[in-house]
Amino acid sequence: MSTQPEHAVKEWISGFGVNVPRGATAPDPASLQAAAAGLAPPLVVKAYGPGLLHKSDAGAVRLGLDSPRAAAEAAAEMLARGIVPDGFLVEEQADSGVEVIVGAVRDPAFGPVLLAGLGGVWTEVLRDTALRLCPITEADARSMLDELRGRALLDGFRGGPPVDRDALVKVLLAVGGPGGVVESLDNRLTEFELNPVICGPSGAVAVDARLLTTEEPPAPSQKTRDTDFERLFAPRGVAVVGASTKRPGFGNMFLNFYKAAGFTGRLVAVHPTAPDIDGVPCVPSLSGADVDYALVAVPAARCADVVREAAGIPFVQVMSGGFREMGEPTLEEDLLAAAQTAGVRLLGPNCMGVYSPAGGQTFLGGAQGRPGRIAVVSQSGGLAGEVIKVGERRGLAFSKVATVGNSADVTPAELLRFLAADDDTAVIGLYLEDPRDGRGLYEALTTLRKPVVALVGGRSGQGRKAAASHTGGMISDTRVWSALAEQTGITLVTSQDDLIGALDLLDLHAQRPAPDNPGVLVIGPSGGASVLAADVFDTAGLDLSPLPAPATAALRDLGLGAGSSLANPLEIPVGPQGNPELIQRAVTAILAAHPYPDVIAHVNVQSFFTFGDSADPLLAYTRSVGALQQELAATRITLVIRNAECAPPGVEDAVRELARASGVPVYRNMEAASVAVTAGKRSAHGTA
């Protein structure tokens, strides 16, 4: 690790257009007075050298000195207190203003990340900062400032003058923009920090600067490949390694999965002596197996030897665990080397495999679902299986699902690039823990024109071990993922159910040309549910804008709102005795006056069976909501069936089937609907 003295860093960054104070250096107090002679008081003196990275904590900074002589005396006092510097820096003290931190650090997965926030002592007290992956744009810089909780300080607080935001944006771009400080350092960057940058009405001045670089640049990220993964998802033949004639295990399980799914290609088991296993013919080794895909389910220590025999097979998936995830990185390195020697692409290890109804691929028992437009890339095979099974139960249909486990070779980024060009895929879901090639993932998402929903595991830990600077200590996995989402337009969710729900809405609604605004109309029966719905959607950042006067007049003509005001959420009679067509009339009247891009229709299922004895009124209401969606091609309709567990068996399924057939996604509660609707709005904005 190499640390540059502050004055050298300031001289260097001034070449990027960053303003710094006028100053001079001296080796000792005796020569400091002469060095400061040309500077205008008040002055600042700082000692610099090894061990003085945090100068304030060490007592190596003095402010407000009224003369060069006072500066020299301050330096002498530092020596008397035991500070042993390489020298002293004396500078003109900047005018007071709002203190801001601007820093950059190299994230192990995603590369350089820029941080901006309230600086000085407030950095640690408030931790009010925003992040973006580098390089940033001017729009990124301005949105970072808008994210700060203390942004009012920048705009002038309690009569104070606003700071020169353009000057601060210029500093952010000089550090993290194209051709800036970060790009010039390339892989040598460890941490860079300006703290504080003092911002006022007439500009921004960096009064402190730190730079830590590495002598040996980190290894380059994984190289971009152009593999055609079509045969991974639609193999002409599959070989399973690890099936047994005596003790059935995972290999036998996968053979039965392919048989149950009705795989029509060549299916073989690998066994040195057996003629067949469970009715599937055997071959003695992968060599000459004549397949496109091999599934390996043997102990970790044997996997590399098996993979070496796979030359000529395009894709090999290692289901077995016991590699890097279990503290055995050498086994994983040997496995990757074996794949490279054999010239095969390796999926895993520690993954379940691939699912594609159209291509016959599966890692699940039972019949496959119908082919659809939803793709999923997951580092967890178990979670991917749950998404498929629960999703198909709710009516979702999948194009391609790949589990990648440890991603030793094939990475999520590489599969994303393939799916971006896949005509059968319209919507993509991700479950990630360690993307391996985070920079490649970011670049793939930046150019992707399909909606993406991501569930990220491990975001809530302690964060990274505190580094030498404030910047390094304040960047954590959670914040980097949030920055990536802001820059790429993907939606981050926090649960498996929300992942499925968002994929559902995007599958049905992503292609609708709905207006790009945060407005939503909520409509349903009266009671506290409407009030709670308003709270939920407001928390999600969605806008329940009031109904315009022409809309309220039209609603009164329909007999609504007698003796009361009409608002959003709109209360209408919905129940076993209600008119199921009323929702169509009410929504049509409102949209004629105001184009809400999203309409959330909710219903209390319990009331239909407490005050009625048949599912017919609920199904009639569902048909009416579906008909409304069919009429409104540019509006996204969402149905919330509250208290669905109160319905007799089979009714909820019937409601979902009816609604989805008309292009309407269905949710059990407002919270799930709000997550999905937000994903739809982000998608409409990001892919426009």
Name which of 687, 674, 688 is nearest 518 in CA terms.
Answer: 674
- Where helices occur in 197-268 by DSSP H, the ranges are 230-233, 250-260
Return the pLDDT at 218.
54
Concatenated DSSP letters for 178-190? TTSHHHHHGGGEE
Interacting residues of 643 by C-beta distance below 8 A, sequence separation 6+: 604, 605, 606
Helices 528-539 and 670-686 sit at what angle, rounded to 10 degrees? Answer: 40
> What local confidence, expressed as pLDDT, does residue 613 receive?
85
- Residues of the chain with confidence (pLDDT) below 70: 1, 53, 120-126, 216-225, 459-477, 563-564, 684-688
- pLDDT at residue 459, rounded to an integer: 62
- The Cα diameter of the chain in Å comes to 97
Domains of the chain: 22-92 (3.30.1490.20), 98-213 (3.30.470.20), 230-451+490-506 (3.40.50.720), 515-686 (3.40.50.261)
Pairing of the two strands 666-667 and 636-642: parallel
CA atoms within 13 A on the CB side of 271: 20
What's the confidence (pLDDT) of residue 165? 96
Nearest to 191 by CA among 108, 307, 281, 275: 108
SS3 of the chain: helix, strand, coil, percent, to 5: 40, 20, 40
* Cα–Cα distance measured from residue 66 to residue 79, given in angstroms and rounded to the nearest whole number: 20
Query: Is residue 460 a contact partner of residue 478, using CB atoms and an 8 Å limit?
Result: yes
Residue 180 pLDDT: 97
Q: What is the value of pTM for the model shown? A: 0.90
pLDDT tens-place string over residues 74-130: 999 999 999 989 999 999 999 999 999 999 999 888 999 999 999 866 666 567 889
- Angle 51-53-54 from CA coordinates, rounded to 5°: 110
Contact between 115 and 471 (Cβ < 8 Å) = yes
Q: What are the φ and ψ backbone dihedral angles of 320, each rounded to 5 degrees?
A: -60, 145
Residue 104 CB burial class (10 angstroms; 0-12, 13-18, ≥19): buried
* 474: Cα within 13 Å, side-chain hemisphere: 27
In tens, the pLDDT along 208-217 reads 999 999 876 5
